[in-house]
Each structure stands twice: as structure tokens, then as C-alpha cells.
Amino acid sequence: MEIMEIIKDKERKPIPEISKNKINNILKEIQNNNEVNPLHIYELYQILEEIEQNCEKTSIISDLFTEDIIYFFRTLILQEKFVRNIIIKIIRLNIQIYPFFTSKLLKSLYPIVICKIFEEYKKSTFEERYECFKLIYAWLKYSNNNFPLIFCQAIASLSRVDDLFKKGCIEFIRNLCVIRPDLCSTIGGFRILINNLIDINYNYEDVSDNILYSILYVINSPKKENILMVLMIYIKYFLFFQKVIFVIICTQMISQVVEIILMINKQLKKKKKKIN
């Protein structure tokens, strides 16, 4: 997948001047009027989507989004539900176009807003939560150096409860343990992953193999701190597995003894019949 992305990046073209001018005009209109037109917001999303797919990844577009615009968009996300989804998509596309855009989001406290929508499953719609989840994934993929801890905490909390995004959260933690094992350890992510492997009621068979491979990858990592993080958690579970193996061996022995007793009973019955 990464090789394909590198090849695609080489084929990307410079951002057309028409697109830059359109974005600039829309943002200026929003800034001057201090209000939002849904049609303009949707047009902005379409332009950004085309740039993200076909054009070079530079800071040109990010520079057009001033701090005032970003702050205004944050207000819209909280107050105006009719444009919430589309603005979250616009923010995500900006991250994918220019990863350093996340530094502006941190200044405007966007992670708190995104987590608020993502975690409030009773108030937020599925589509809104899904767009927030995609934004969090994009942040981890394109700008993991400044990935907010609050995102990790939100993901971890939802992975422990019966939620629509539970499976997605476990898969996210699996990726987190490879990309940022330090954050994964901080939120107890390795414990969540191992619980998913050993707990029958908590197991997702289609991702279990990937979880195991990811944990083994972290253990075999040349970074010593990664090994130490996982090792302390593994010691506890190795003891658990020893107990399980002991119980299995005992049950096997008991079953064998029962079989032998039944065999002896059958033989005794046959002998009695012959005597009679």
C-alpha cells in the first residue's frame, strides 16, 4: 500500500490556480460575512477532495486557512449540525493534503471538539461519529508525531464498552501499538489487545491474527523501550496461560481416567456374563 502511495505521489500535479482562487474566495466570503452558506461549504469540500486525490501535497492550501477561519469552523461544528459532517471532512482533507495542518488544529483545541462528538453516541448521529473516526485515523496516519493523547483515551474507552465502533477501536489500537507504542502503553492499549485474544466473549476472530502479529512486531522492534512496555504486561498473561495449560492437562488426565474406568467396567460386566 505504501509503495502504491509513493508511485501515486510522483504522478501528482501542481495545484491549479483556479482551485486556489476558488478556495481563497470562499474562505474570504466566510470570513467577511461571518456566516456560512452550505452550498459554498460543499463546493469547498469538492475542490479539496480533488486536490487531495490528484495534486501535490504542499502548504499552499493550508496557508489559506487562517486561525480565524479555523476557529469559526470549530464554532460551526459545535453549533450547526447541518454543516457539521462536511466541515469535519474538510478538516480531514486538509490533514491529508498537508500533515502539518494539525499544529493549527491543536492551537484551536480541535481534538476536544472531535472527541466530544465521537464519544456522545446518544446525541451524535452515526455519520457524524464516523467522520470523526476517519479524521482521527487520518491524524494518526499522516501526523503521528503530535497525535493527541485525548484521541487515544476516547478510543480506549469505547473499546471497553458495547459500542458500534468497538471493533474499529480495537483495530485502531492495533495500529497505534505499531506506530506509537508509547501512547498505546499509556492508555492500556496492550492490555485491551491481549484481552481481545484470550477472552472468548470479547474476541473478534477476523482481527485476532493481525493483533498477534502486531504485538510480536512491537516485541521484536529494535527499540528497547518498546520491548519493556509489552514485557511487563506479558508476564502477567504468561502466568494466566500457565494456569490454563495446567487446567487443560488436568481435564485431559481426568477424561483418560474416566475412559479407563469405563473400559474396566465393561470388561467386568463381560466376565460376569460368562460366569453366569
Among 106, 140, 174, the domain-final residue is 140
Q: Identify the burial level of 137 via C-beta atoms within 10 angstroms of its C-beta, where 0-12 means exposed, 13-18 middle and 19 or more buried.
A: middle
> What is the reported pLDDT for 1?
45
One domain for residues 75 and 127: yes
One domain for residues 70 and 115: yes
pTM for this one? 0.77
> Given a cut of 70, is residue 95 above it in pLDDT?
yes
One domain for residues 164 and 109: no
109 Rama class: left (phi>0) / alpha (psi -120 to 50) / beta? left
Among 140, 165, 194, the domain-final residue is 140
User: What does the block give as the cell for 205?
Assistant: 476472530
What is the rounded end-to-end Cα distance, in angstroms, of the chain?
79
Q: Whole domain around residue 67: which residue ranges?
A: 1-140
One domain for residues 36 and 70: yes
One domain for residues 134 and 2: yes
> What is the reported pLDDT for 217?
82
Q: Return d(Cα 64, Cα 267) in angstroms, integer.
A: 91
> Which residue pairs, CB below 8 angstroms and at least 24 apart, start in 106-110?
106/146, 106/148, 107/67, 108/67, 108/70, 108/71, 108/74, 109/74, 110/70, 110/74
Please state the domain count of the chain.
2
> Given a cut of 60, is residue 260 above it in pLDDT?
no
> What is the reported pLDDT for 273?
64
Neighbour count for residue 191 (Cβ, 10 Å): 16
> What is the reported pLDDT for 196?
81
Contact 229, 181 (CB under 8 A): yes
> Given a cut of 70, is residue 114 above it in pLDDT?
yes
Among 109, 140, 171, the domain-final residue is 140
Q: Return d(Cα 132, Cα 88) in angstroms, integer.
A: 7
| CATH number for the domain harbouring residue 31 | 1.25.10
One domain for residues 154 and 271: yes
Cell 469538492 belongs to residue: 46
One domain for residues 9 and 49: yes
Q: Return d(Cα 153, Cα 186) in angstroms, integer.
A: 9
Angle at which helices 166-179 and 189-198 pack, to 10 degrees?
120
Query: Which of the pair, 236 or 40, is modelled with greater confidence?
Result: 40
> How many helices (H) and strands (E) are present in the chain, helices listed first?
15, 0
One domain for residues 125 and 24: yes
One domain for residues 156 and 268: yes
One domain for residues 108 and 133: yes
> What is the reported pLDDT for 263?
62
Beta-bridge mates of residue 13: 55
> Given a cut of 80, is residue 202 above it in pLDDT?
no
The residues, ordered by sequence, that sit 6+ positions from 130 with a Cβ below 8 Å of its Cβ are none
User: What does the block give as the cell for 91?
Assistant: 478538516
Cell 495446567 belongs to residue: 246
- Burial letters 260-274, b for 16+ CB under 10 A, else e: eeeeeeeeeeeeeee
> What is the reported pLDDT for 7?
44
pLDDT level of residue 47 (50, 70, 90 thresholds): very high
One domain for residues 158 and 275: yes
One domain for residues 124 and 162: no
User: What does the block give as the cell for 223?
Assistant: 527499540
